[in-house]
Amino acid sequence: MKILIADDEPVSLQLLRRTLERADYEVVAVTDGHEAAAQLCLPDGPRLALLDWMMPGLDGPGVCRVVRQKRSQRYVHIVLLTARNSKEDIVEGLESGADDYLIKPFHPAELKARLRTGLRILQLEDKLVEAREDMRFKATHDALTSLLNRGAIMELLARELSRTARENGNTTVLLADLDHFKNVNDTHGHPVGDEVLCEVARRLLWSVRSYDLVGRYGGEEFLVVLNNCDIDNAMERAEELRQSVARSPVSTANGPIPVTASVGVLSSRQWESLPAEDILRGVDAALYAAKAAGRNCCRLATPAGVELNQ
């Protein structure tokens, strides 16, 4: 664990460094309060800190206040070191944002014990953050494919359409539906169908840019949002995605299964500033046109109807 020690007395700083290095800490040593605050506010800065109360620049409580105001990453556990032992001083130190208070001179064993307490607190915080992020992921992602779920992709689509309207840009929306997928489930069973869905999700993600969006819209339907995709390239990009699905059979527990998809395509610039629900109705109509045209093809939705000769 990386730990910062801040003390402007060279002897004290050296003693602290040796004590902590023997305890297997990675020590970052500074002699100035401003430098201490800068180190602790770095994204990968130390998460444990021992701060002397009196230092040039900022004192210990001042460093605490800066860190609590500016640090937006993981929590930093701060221990103030000082010869001050009045109740008023202790209260001032803790209210500045310190987590603990150690009065000089202190025994090395007590210092190590207090740092172990700090480590336990940081480990607990990490577990809570991990649990929170896990809950957030589960709330916004499909359990089977790990793609964005319907609610999340719809919310992000609405945001993207708003941004595109403000900037007079263009967003391409694709709605892809696997052809004859019911036959896969009926013939091979739902576990094999799940394998197919997961592989198609992987192929779609592989085919888009890192800032594009792919979500499971429902069943065997996938919604793809291509940010800043020019209208002239919309069909070309849709064809690339269609081909990525169909390029080779999906390997499953029951052997290789050929898979194709029909794709509805819509470019937002042609549809002015319509809400996401209207955009989806338009791209859904294009999808059904692709189905009616024999499947495994793309069709472009326009305000005048669906272009069939693509």
**Quick check: is 220 catalytic?**
yes
Q: Which residue is catalytic, options 88, 220, 221, 239?
A: 220
In a domain, 59, yes or no: yes
Residue 309 has pLDDT above 50, yes or no: no
Mean predicted confidence (pLDDT) in 70-83: 83
Both 185 and 286 in one domain: the answer is yes
What are the residues whose beta carbons fall under 8 Å from the beta carbon of 299, sequence distance 6 or more? Answer: 263, 264, 265, 286, 287, 289, 290, 293, 306, 307, 308, 310
Q: Which residue has the higher pLDDT, 94 or 287?
A: 287
Q: Which runs of E-coded beta strand occur in the chain? A: 2-6, 26-30, 48-52, 77-82, 100-103, 172-178, 213-218, 221-226, 250-252, 255-257, 261-267, 298-302, 305-307
Both 106 and 240 in one domain: the answer is no
> pLDDT per residue over 215-254, tens digit each?
999 999 999 999 989 888 999 999 999 999 999 999 999 9
Q: Which of 106, 139, 172 is the last residue of a domain?
A: 139
Both 10 and 130 in one domain: the answer is yes
Residue 227 belongs to domain spanning: 150-307
pTM of the model: 0.71
- Tokens in use for 67? 């860190």
In a domain, 145, yes or no: no
Q: Smallest Cα–Cα separation from 238: which of 211, 268, 208?
A: 208
- Calculate what percentage of the chain has a pLDDT beyond 70: 96
- CA-to-CA distance for 214 and 191, rounded, in angstroms? 22
